[in-house]
Amino acid sequence: MLNHKVASREDWLEARRALLIHEKEETRLRDRNAAERLALPWVKVDKAYAFDTPNGRKTLAELFGDRSQLVVYHFMLPPEWEAGCPGCSFLADHLDGTLLHLNHHDVTLLAVSRAPLDKIAAYKARMGWKFPWVSSFGGDFNYDFGVSFTPQTIAAGATYNFQPAGEGANELPGLSSFYKDEAGQVFHTYSSYGRGGEELIGTYMILDRAPLGRNESGNMGDWMRRHDEYEDAAPAKACHAEAVPA
């Protein structure tokens, strides 16, 4: 057994009640941050973005389908990669179960990558995912929303997570949210980068409550693998890709 303090049930309850005070503070802080997030000003998106989808070329407004809210996960899969980022894949494993609930609450969730659509489709089939995933290949979307970089954009002052992007930056993860009004105007409402998407990873939320926590050295790559790369992984079941909203 690890060298960890062992106490009586009474002592455990005392320590647990003390922790509960801090957990409630964390909950109230999360509620406060959520309210501030909703209060952020919106920015109208005037630039014409287009995406390759299984249903043909679509604009940003058309990606919403018949819903007013769109949440985009910026998935790290540039044209030159043969497989998606392991960390993004870890997060993506948690998305399919949310789709039905989000779709019935006026939210469309999808992933966007710079890779061509055929490369996205091949990796998606390998992983057995169903969430919509479109390509911004050849466009500015990923660059404009701060997740893709060239040496030129970095030299021009590109930022990641609202601070200067490092010289080695190339492709990084993020999440962006948009709203479409009745007139069809699209507004950028929120973006998050770095560890900002961590709360989407239910596995981490469970590990945080396990006896040994995340049990890593600050790098998920210490233990995490794409789900078909574990030694006992079963082949992904064939799935029918969910169509991007028309």
Is the pLDDT at 103 greater than 70, yes or no?
Answer: yes
- pTM for this model (two decimals): 0.91
pLDDT per position as a tens digit, 64-93: 999 999 999 999 999 999 999 999 999 999
CB neighbourhood size of 164 (10 A):
12
Q: Which residues contact 112 (CB under 8 A, 6 or more apart)?
A: 51, 72, 73, 74, 75, 133, 134, 135, 136, 141, 142
| Chain centroid to CA 212 | 25
Residue with the two structure tokens 């320590």: 15
Is the pLDDT at 52 greater than 60, yes or no?
Answer: yes
pLDDT per position as a tens digit, 122-150: 999 999 999 999 999 999 999 999 999 99
| Chain centroid to CA 176 | 9
Helix ranges (H only) for the chain are 9-38, 60-63, 86-92, 99-103, 117-127, 141-144, 151-155, 202-207
Residue ranges of domains in the chain, CATH in brackets:
43-222 (3.40.30.10)
CA 241 – CA 14 distance, rounded (Å): 51
| Residue 171 region by backbone torsions, left for phi larger than 0, else alpha for psi between -120 and 50, else beta | beta
Segment 152-170 mean pLDDT? 91
pLDDT per position as a tens digit, 205-242: 999 999 999 999 878 888 999 999 999 987 766 444 44
User: What is the rounded end-to-end Cα distance, in angstroms, of the chain?
Assistant: 56
Residue type, 95: L
CA 19 – CA 30 distance, rounded (Å): 16
Segment 165-187 mean pLDDT? 95
Exposed/middle/buried for residue 120 (C-beta within 10 Å: 0-12, 13-18, 19+): buried
